[in-house]
Amino acid sequence: MNAPQTLTPDATVPNVEGATPVMAQYIQLKAQYPDALLLMRMGDFYEIFFEDAVIASAALSLALTKRGQFQGKDIPLAGVPAHAADAYIAKLIRLGHRVAVCDQLEDPAEAKKRGSKAIVKRGITRVVTPGTLTEDTLLEERGANRLVALSSRGGVLALAAVELSTGDVEVLEVAPEQLGVQLSALRPSESLVADRLIQDEAIYPLLKMYGGVIQPQPASLCDPTSGEARLLKLYGVSTLDGFGAFSPAEVSALGLLAAYIDLTQAGKIPTLKPPARVISNNYLAIDAATRNSLEIDRTQQGKREGSLISALDMTVTSGGCRLLLNRLARPLYNPADINARLDTIEWLLPRRTLRETLRHLMRSLSDQARALSRLSLGRGSARDLCVITQALTISEALASQLNDARHQEHDDLAGDPPAIPQEIDGIISALVPSLPLSQLRDKLARAVVEEPPLKLSDGGFIRPGFNADLDEARALRDDSRQIILALEQRLAAETGIAIRIKFNNVLGYFIELSAKLAEQLQAQDTERQFIHRQSLANQVRFVTTELIELDGRIQRAAQQGQALELDIFEQLREEVRLAAAEIQGGHDAICALDVAVANACWAEDWDAVRPVVDDSLRLEISRGRHPVVAAALKSQGKPFTPNDVDLDASGAHAARLSLVTGPNMAGKSTYLRQNALLIIMAQAGLFVPAKSMHLGVVDKLFSRVGAGDDLAQGRSTFMMEMVETAAILTQASERSFIILDEIGRGTATYDGLAIAWASAENLHEVIKARTLFATHYHELSRLEERMKHLNNLSLTAHEHNGELIFLHEARKGSADRSYGVQVARLAGMPPAVVSRARDILTRLEEENQTQLKLDDLPLFSASRTPEPASFAPSKVETMLRSVNPDDLSPKEALELIYNLHKLL
């Protein structure tokens, strides 16, 4: 990752003395964006000069040459062909650079009219940064690309996020200890952060880990009043009230986004949805370490393959896939909202033919959201218009399929029509276009050819018959070509020489003859009809007055045709832009439909069921399966053993904490993770791989499963383990779900056992959350006798003729041994080491080294001594630390006092 740099236009006037006009233009533009690599369009190339050329040539393996001198030194030069620029830009972005793209703002012919020395007008058309990409070629198809802004006002921290390619904007207030949860859920590619917050010791490491490329922002940009003004401009509204009430911190963060969009899009305004205010309490909180260890969207090695999403994803559109990812990244908390999603899947599940038809229709869709965003940013091509047309047509077809299914039911069943899920109802209304939108769709279909060229400049994308003026210009151009042909034939007949008329961009139309024929022509051309234009090695080129005239006519017709096409494109683009909100609504509906259909298909394939989700404190799963491990085993033709879990935080119907023991490799980790993953799926509103599941919603999910070293932060494995366990013990509530795998194993046996024991007691007695606690400390199983709401589970294995057989079955009771030595043998340890280990083990067991007098210990509650003085900063201290008194207005200072008071 690059070191943070500022990306702000610089107003300093550079010294261009002695530079050629083009170089002066380059230097002036570059001075405005000193931190971005400047690519300047010159003809068919984007040229890069000076230091940028050196950097880009090394990064892109380009030849580094020179062009002229400036202030007595050679000017380094590198260049990339304009048609391939996107690929080069993508590479630079991936390497952490920012790229300012400078384009020609007029036709070079226009510049020539101002005089032979006049240079073409050029300007920065956009600054490409990781979080503001919109080009398909630069984006990951199935992932979100977010830009976030982090700001604080009056002691309140706020995060705003935008996904430019789909127009989604979110904003939320976030408690400092929840920043990791929220950042890791958003996974931004780029973060705009108020300068002051970067200095904050608690915040910077989180940004470094989850924030993507960090862009510090000066305090002046964080001011909420100017932020509000920028937002009003961005949304084209006169007040933000229509979007809801935002706190000064939220407005400040949104204002940072607005400023950056303005800067990087060179003033072009994207069509964004109104900012959605995220209430963190409406979602299941999953902290970053838990998210990592559960491998929701990628494995710990960073791969999609092997993650939860890769096992579940049967979506057929990229927007649907992004939505599924979002839903898994941020599962819901409110049972009613969860059940609304589940209703949809339940409705779709038995309707297999309908599902197949819907999938078939959706499969042919291109990425409509991204096409729309390009069009609103003044980019995009005729192909993007086709994407919109096709999406609107398919939307209607999808709506009519859903409607038919609804009516069919009505006909099939006597009496009242069955209730259709609310979500499906909403999807249908969003998919049926309003009259103006369906008229726009028809117009687009009439206007744009079926397969338009990639680039607008290639022309030919408007259908014949759509615009009379265009048809006329084209007819003239085509007729003229006929006339050229006729002229060629006439001249050939007149001269007796096989005249060939050719065309190039420099000369226009010309006659080209071999040197020998040219000599013959000139010899017989007494009237000097043929004017010499150019001599090449073997060819000579001529023109005639008639040919020059014709050339002019043809070029004018072609230019007029092209200009007309571009005009029509602009008009259509504007009409699409004006209809953007409705088009986006339809797109969102398709994504939701895709996710629901995909999960219904997945549920059918995997025999998944609808979880019963309510506000109890239960977790009861019968024959649950790990979605990823079961799929991996199935692909190897191996079975997966389903397992049950039964927990109740209230302790009324089942244990609150299950201690899971069992030999190595017996499946403890798989069992723990499987239950956490099923909770995530259920709260994301998805069917789950089990025979049945009853879940009282979980507020926070914690997983402490095999942490790795975090050497970058100077934390050892054991330290990481303790940091994560501490986070659980301080943040979990009765409504949380916790999985703890072998805590305490990274230190000496007694220390580890003592920590594991005390943690288990604390979870049972104080936190009272539903917990699965896997351990190799078999001594802990004795806790079952001492604690009312704790039970023992074990994953068993049999030893048969020296062979270990794993049953992978979670049963009541505890395991007596770990079979570690046998597992070491299975892993291929040298036989001598295994045999020696066996001897040592027997000896140790005989000596009963770990036999402790633990039964004499008083219970946790009884042994609790007064809490030692806490060294961690209090919430009041944290809030005070996060403000800079000099930044506060009197109103904000007052607000801060109120916020501090609330913490008491």
| Residue 50: exposure state from Cβ atoms within 10 A (0-12, 13-18, ≥19) | middle
* 585 annotated as a binding-site residue: no
Interacting span for ligand ATP (CB under 6 A) from 290-298, 351-359, 471-479, 635-643: 635-643
Minimum gap (Å) between residue 644 Cβ and ligand ATP: 11
Would you say 180 or 642 has its CB closer to ligand ATP? Answer: 642
Residues in contact with 69: Cβ distance below 8 Å, sequence separation at least 6, in sequence order: 75
Binding of ligand ATP at residue 640 (CB under 6 A)? Answer: yes
Whole-number minimum distance, CB 608 to ligand ATP, in Å? Answer: 16
Q: Which is nearer to ligand ATP, 569 or 640 (CB)?
A: 640
Q: How far is the CB of 329 from ligand ATP (least distance, A)?
A: 24
Residues 6+ positions from 840 with CB-CB distance below 8 Å: none
The CB-of-755 to ligand ATP minimum distance in angstroms stands at: 18
What is the pairing mode between strands 190-194 and 147-153? parallel
Least Cβ distance, residue 677 to ligand ATP (angstroms): 13
Site for ligand ATP contains 299 (CB under 6 A): no
Helix or strand (DSSP H, E) at 90: helix 85-94
Nearest approach, Cβ of residue 90 and ligand ATP (Å) = 37
| Straight-line distance from the first to the last Cα atom of the chain, in angstroms, rounded to the nearest whole number | 40
CB-nearer residue toward ligand ATP: 25 or 794: 794
Binding-site member from 389, 616, 658, 664 for ligand ATP (CB under 6 A): 664
Size of the site for ligand ATP (CB under 6 A): 15
* Range 521-580, binding ligand ATP (CB under 6 A): none
- Tell me which residue has its CB nearest to ligand ATP: 667
Q: Is 662 annotated as a binding residue?
A: yes
| Residue of the chain from 668, 700, 745, 789 that contacts ligand ATP (CB under 6 A) | 668
Contact status: 739 vs ligand ATP (CB under 6 A)? no
Residues 772-831 within binding reach of ligand ATP (CB under 6 A): 795, 808
Window of 99-107, 303-311, 470-478, 638-646 that interacts with ligand ATP by CB under 6 A: 638-646
Residue 300 near ligand ATP by CB under 6 A = no
- 791 is an annotated ligand-binding site residue: no
Minimum CB distance to ligand ATP smaller for 586 or for 689: 689
Cβ-based neighbours of 247, under 8 Å, separated by 6 or more: 153, 156, 158, 173
CA neighbor of 229 nearest in space, from 221, 129, 508, 550: 221
Task: Encode 283-339 in three state secondary structure.
Answer: ECEECHHHHHHHCCCCCCCCCCCCCHHHHHCCCCCHHHHHHHHHHHHCCECCHHHHH
Contact (Cβ atoms closer than 8 angstroms) between residue 285 and residue 701? yes
Given 5, 366, 559, 641, the residue binding ligand ATP (CB under 6 A): 641
Between 754 and 823, CB nearer to ligand ATP? 823
- The distance from CA 706 to its chain's CA centroid, rounded to whole angstroms, is 27
CA 9/CA 33 separation, integer angstroms: 5
Q: Which is nearer to ligand ATP, 52 or 644 (CB)?
A: 644
Alpha carbons within 13 angstroms on the beta-carbon side of residue 494 total 14
According to the binding rule CB under 6 A, does residue 627 interact with ligand ATP? no
Would you say 19 or 665 has its CB closer to ligand ATP? Answer: 665
Tokens 């366990």 locate to 725
Q: Has 664 been labeled as part of a binding site? A: yes
Q: For residue 193, which of 145, 257, 236, 129 has the smallest C-alpha distance?
A: 257
Among 662, 685, 689, 752, binds ligand ATP (CB under 6 A): 662
Cβ 782 vs Cβ 661: under 8 Å? no
The answer to whether 56 and 37 have CB atoms below 8 angstroms apart is: yes
Nearer to ligand ATP, 215 or 674 (CB): 674
Nearest approach in angstroms of CB 404 to ligand ATP is: 43
Q: Is 292 annotated as a binding residue?
A: no
Residue among 134 and 669 whose Cβ is closer to ligand ATP: 669
Q: Does 690 bind ligand ATP (CB under 6 A)?
A: no
Structure token digits, residue 791: 């039970």
Residue 245 burial class via C-beta count within 10 angstroms: exposed 0-12, middle 13-18, buried 19 and up: exposed
CA–CA separation, 796 vs 774, rounded Å? 13
Residues, the chain, total?
A: 904
Short-list 323, 296, 368, CA closest to 597: 323
Which of 4, 224, 561, 667 is in the footprint of ligand ATP by CB under 6 A? 667
Q: In whole angstroms, what is the distance from residue 190 CA to residue 450 CA?
A: 37
Q: Does the footprint of ligand ATP cover residue 670 (CB under 6 A)?
A: yes
In Å, the largest CA–CA distance within the chain is 126
Q: Is 255 annotated as a binding residue?
A: no
Q: Does the annotation flag 668 for ligand binding?
A: yes
Q: Is 651 labeled as ligand-binding?
A: no
Binding residue ranges: 662-669
Residue ranges that bind ligand ATP, judged by CB under 6 A:
629, 633, 640-641, 643, 662, 664-670, 795, 808
Binding residue ranges for ATP: 662-669
